Amino acid sequence: MSAPDLRVQLGSLQLRNPVVTASGTFGYGLDFVDYVDLARIGGLSTKGLSLHSHEGNPPPRICEVDGGMLNAIGLQNIGAEAFVRDKLPRLRELGATVIANVWGDSDEEYEAVVERLGSEPGIAAIELNVSCPNVTRGGMIVGNDPDALTALTKKVRIKTRLPLIVKLSPNVADIRVTAKAAMDGGADILSLVNTFVGMAIDVHRRRPKIGFTTGGLSGPAIRPLAVRMVFQVARALPGVPIMGIGGIERTEDAIEFLLAGAHAIQVGTANFRDPAVSMKLVDGIEEFCREKGVAKIGDLVGKVEVRHAGAAS
Amino acid sequence: MEFDSSEDRWTLPDRDVRIPPPVPAVDLATRVVRNTPLAPSYFSLWMRAPEVAHSVQPGQFVMIGIEAGLRPYLRRAFSVAQVLGDDIEILAKTVGPGTAALAEASVGTRVTVLGPLGRGFDLDRIGSGETVVLVAGGIGVAPFLITTRELARRKITTRIFFGGRTQADLVGADLLAEIAGARNVVLSTDDGSRGVHGRVTATLASELDRGLVAARLFACGPEPMFRALEPIVRERGIRSEFAMEREMACGFGVCLGCVVPTTEGHFATLCKEGPVVDPSTIDWERCPR
């Protein structure tokens, strides 16, 4: 059998394979060049970029929990301008497919950062972060209100011709509602999910382990929740390109998301545990397809066989 | 060189540590070659890691993962304590699931070792006849074994202040005395069970007041020790470097979890901009207590 075709088409965004590294877990890509050939993975999503640099939350910012971690970094980043000047040229040389993850603390700032990056050569797509749980303005506050999300998506939609990905928060009663709201605003692609709001307490000192009190839960612990949400959105909005995110580490985890209805996946927290995990996933997915006689990766998308939708209906 | 498994003594490497320029980190899937309990809750763990052993600089660290299981999930950061041939040693105290898993690792246990990482101590341009002062608190002694050996190799006089709560916390004290000479190691304990009765910072301050001249001071220990030490070195204008510690998820600059506030109003990552930092650049008021 010839090599399986791993190429993925998400609206107008083409990726060489379905493995993308998730925002906030891959820096601006360049810290990984000792471990990952950036031209071999499907793409990378940058640390959330704002128009100007942002210093983030006071520490402590992270703690480990069973099966993952909590973080409240608070979107520390170097700003769009510094990214374009200091990081993007090298990323282009390395052949990386760059997705610029962006955020603002007001609609105007979201618009401004999308406008700044939305026609920059070397950026393949914009990912709108409307789901960060660790800031007090912007982020999840916008993304969890369907009307505000539609309005914001419309505003940034007209600022760029690049494919527009909206990254959804799982901290909602029904993610299909916000998924539809983002599509109504003109999103091309949905990525889901961001982290779940969690909390951990140091019982000896009687204080939260995270300085922000709450933090976003990520890692294998959230995978079944994320798979269910991808399944729900895929069923509710057939044909909408989806990137599945949540605790992916092994090949089987990635395949699970594809079967649930994702066209591509993003690997996040696992990058911390194994900096080369994204490349291993590309190899693993290819091997899986070979073994199962899958000619095109797209043949797996949404192919979970269910008799009924369970509680996901 | 292989360890003799019948030899249960915690041995002193017989080779000089040569310090090449920094090299890119490598991620090794490797194994534990030796695990020695040292004192209640302390242990010395040796792993085969040639690329790290041949290039690590004093003060640099590695991220170690135990491959099986989800608890611990993330790797843990450890200073490299010693190197011997193709092997590296970490010294650790069991405090949580990560160190507990490593404490129980037997010879042959699979581990991942990512390193060498971060910025080590600046051992260059120290004049002959000058004295380097090392200040260690508890398990903060770990980076000072390799550091002391390198200073000894360079024939630089080293004076070591090593404190702990009690005598069991002075792990490695005898080894330091072997390397640096017993008269150059000043031990102290909070309870007076070994060495001077009192805090390591008090012992240091009194020697400085009696005329000890520190060309450079390197420190590693718990946060309260750094807080007590910072004014001592600031007021005396001693050029100092602190090897600090924070929870780290990645170890190479991307998770942004291990930050410390700087006097410039930013957050610096300890994994990349440290773990060895100039204390005068840290905003101690904004460090969490």
**Do residues A92 and B101 make contact, with C-beta atoms less than 8 angstroms apart?**
no
Tell me which of A132, A245, A260, A312 is the catalytic residue. Answer: A132
| Domain closes at, from B60, B91, B117 | B117
- Considering only the beta carbons, identify the residue of A31, A59, A69 that sits closest to B74: A69
Assess whether B88 and B104 both reside in one domain: yes
pLDDT in tens, A178-228: 999 999 999 999 999 999 999 999 999 999 999 999 999 999 999 999 999
Query: What integer is the mean pLDDT of A245-267?
Result: 98
CATH number of the domain where residue B145 is located: 3.40.50.80
Give residue limits of the domains in chain A: 8-312
CA dist B284 → A239, B223, B260 (Å): 53, 10, 9
Q: How many CB atoms lie within 10 A of CB A38?
A: 23
Distance of residue A115 Cα from the nearest chain B Cα, in angstroms: 26
What residues pair up with B269 in beta bridges, in sequence order?
A: B259
Assess whether B68 and B173 both reside in one domain: no
**Where are the strands (E) in B143-272, listed by range?**
157-164, 185-189, 196-197, 216-220, 240-243, 259-261, 267-269
**Do residues B31 and B108 make contact, with C-beta atoms less than 8 angstroms apart?**
yes
Measured N-to-C along each axis, helices A223-236 and A175-184 cross at an angle, to the nearest 10 degrees, of 50
CATH homologous superfamily, domain A8-312 = Aldolase class I (3.20.20.70)
| Domain closes at, from B209, B227, B242 | B242
> Position of tokens 């729900």?
A232
Instruction: Locate the chain B residue with the closest alpha carbon to A268.
Output: B255
Residue % of chain A over a pLDDT of 70 = 100
How many inter-chain contacts (A to B, CB under 8 Å) are there? Answer: 97
Residues of B in contact with A58 (CB under 8 A): 261, 286, 288
Residues of B in contact with A54 (CB under 8 A): none
A132 is catalytic: yes
- Considering only the beta carbons, identify the residue of A27, A55, A69 that sits closest to B253: A27
Assess whether B88 and B164 both reside in one domain: no
Provide the residue range defining the domain that includes B274: 244-289
CA–CA distance, A276 with A270 (Å, rounded to integer):
9
CA–CA distance, B91 with B46 (Å, rounded to integer):
9
CA–CA distance, B150 with B145 (Å, rounded to integer):
9
CA–CA distance, A275 with B114 (Å, rounded to integer):
9
In a domain, B18, yes or no: no
CB spacing of A275 vs B250 below 8 angstroms:
yes
Assess whether B44 and B109 both reside in one domain: yes
Assess whether B80 and B97 both reside in one domain: yes
In a domain, B4, yes or no: no
Per-residue pLDDT at B68: 66
CA dist B119 → A2, A32, A122, B57, B58 (Å): 47, 18, 32, 8, 9
Give the pair of three-digit tokens for residue A183: 């599509």
CA–CA distance, A50 with A76 (Å, rounded to integer):
9
Per-residue pLDDT at B288: 80
Q: How many CB atoms lie within 10 A of CB B6?
A: 5
H-helix or E-strand containing A270? helix A270-273
What is the layout of strands, in order, in the sheet containing B87-93? B76-79, B61-66, B110-117, B26-39, B42-48, B87-93, B82-84
Could you tell me if residue B51 is left (phi over 0), alpha (psi between -120 and 50 degrees) or otherwise beta? Answer: alpha
Distance of residue B151 Cα from the nearest chain A Cα, in angstroms: 31
- Considering only the beta carbons, identify the residue of B24, B71, B257 that sits closest to A73: B257
In a domain, B132, yes or no: yes
Domain count, chain B: 3
Confirm whether pTM is higher than 0.90.
yes
Assess whether B90 and B42 both reside in one domain: yes
Instruction: Locate the chain B residue with the closest alpha carbon to A220.
Output: B70
In a domain, B19, yes or no: no
In a domain, B94, yes or no: yes
| Domain closes at, from B95, B117, B139 | B117
CA–CA distance, A104 with A49 (Å, rounded to integer):
8
Assess whether B237 and B249 both reside in one domain: no
At A28, the amino acid letter reads Y
Cβ-in-10-Å burial (0-12, 13-18, 19+) of A7 comes to middle
Per-residue pLDDT at B22: 60
Assess whether B128 and B238 both reside in one domain: yes
CA dist B219 → A313, B147, B177, B185 (Å): 59, 11, 17, 14
Per-residue pLDDT at A2: 80
Q: Note whether B27 contacts A: Cβ–Cβ < 8 A.
A: yes
> Position of tokens 């009687």?
A206
Assess whether B134 and B198 both reside in one domain: yes
Assess whether B176 and B249 both reside in one domain: no
Assess whether B237 and B248 both reside in one domain: no
Measured N-to-C along each axis, helices A175-184 and A146-157 cross at an angle, to the nearest 10 degrees, of 30
- Residuewise pLDDT in 10s, chain B (289 residues): 334 443 334 444 443 444 445 678 899 999 999 999 998 899 999 999 999 999 999 999 999 999 767 789 999 999 999 999 999 999 999 998 899 999 999 999 999 999 999 999 999 999 888 999 999 999 999 999 999 999 999 999 999 999 999 999 999 999 999 999 999 999 999 999 999 999 999 999 999 999 999 999 999 999 999 999 999 999 999 999 999 999 999 999 999 999 999 999 999 999 999 999 999 999 999 888 7
- Per-residue confidence band for A1, with pLDDT thresholds at 50, 70 and 90: low
In a domain, B12, yes or no: no
CA–CA distance, B92 with B72 (Å, rounded to integer):
15
H-helix or E-strand containing A271? helix A270-273
Q: What are phi and psi of A269, to 5 degrees?
A: -55, -30
CA–CA distance, A42 with A59 (Å, rounded to integer):
33
CATH number of the domain where residue B250 is located: 2.10.240.10
In a domain, B6, yes or no: no
Nearest to B118 by CA among B281, B288, B268: B268
